[in-house]
A and B are shown apart, each in its own frame.
Chain A
């Protein structure tokens, strides 16, 4: 069955630093992957998704993620973070008609 693991539970960066958040998935046939984000006080929302095609996926607010099949990874990246990127980020994988979420990474950006 599909599952995901996120390596970092808490990340602190300064503004303008580059970001990479790790996500690994377990093999389970066709691979579809999501990244969700939850800004402070806001509802969880979709950041980007991979279903098929180009393994480099671009999402909202300058985020991107690369699906690397050989490494079972779907890491989230942003070249230059802003204070407003402070949030909790969840990697997720569909399983049947449900979605299995990772435990989340809290990102704190220092101004």
Chain B
């Protein structure tokens, strides 16, 4: 079974703090993704990566950055957290190229106060 793990299920941070969300997958997948999930808006893609040290902007990259130093690990960074970044953050991975299904982690519910 593919396993995608995220470092925290719940996180509370203050406005202006730097926040790191970690994601690890154990199936040697090439592709990794970060989404945020908000009620009524579905899943919106923040950033994705096809390979180590490679990143691409998704639909809503503003205020976020990412890092992929190892194939199995993909980090999402909020440089200076703001209250409008309060959300559920989902990490996913998929194999190779093509329309392969994505496997999701359990999510991190981030609250910025």
Which chain A residues (14-61) contact chain B, with CB distance < 8 Å?
Answer: 32, 34, 42-46, 49, 51
Which chain B residues (53-109) contact chain A, with CB distance < 8 Å?
Answer: 58, 90, 92, 94, 97-99, 101-102, 104-107
Q: Which residues of B contact A104 (CB under 8 A)?
A: 40, 42-43
Complexed CA–CA distance, A40 and B105 (Å): 14
Complexed CA–CA distance, A42 and B45 (Å): 20
A101 at the interface (CB under 8 A from B): yes
Contact present for A98 and B42 (CB under 8 Å): no
Contact present for B58 and A97 (CB under 8 Å): no
Nearest opposing residue in chain B for A32, CB measure: B99
Q: Which residues of B contact A94 (CB under 8 A)?
A: 98-99
Shortest B7–chain A CB gap in Å is 15
Given A90-B42, A97-B50, do A43 and B98 touch, yes or no (CB 8 Å)?
no
Q: Which residues of B contact A98 (CB under 8 A)?
A: 33, 45, 48, 58
The 5 A-B pairs of least Cβ separation, nearest first, read A94-B99, A103-B42, A44-B104, A101-B43, A32-B99
Task: List, sorted by A's number, 25 A–B pairs whose CB atoms are closer than 8 Å.
Answer: A32-B99, A34-B101, A42-B106, A43-B4, A43-B104, A43-B105, A43-B107, A44-B43, A44-B92, A44-B104, A90-B43, A94-B99, A97-B50, A97-B97, A97-B98, A98-B33, A98-B45, A98-B48, A98-B58, A99-B102, A101-B43, A103-B40, A103-B42, A104-B42, A104-B43
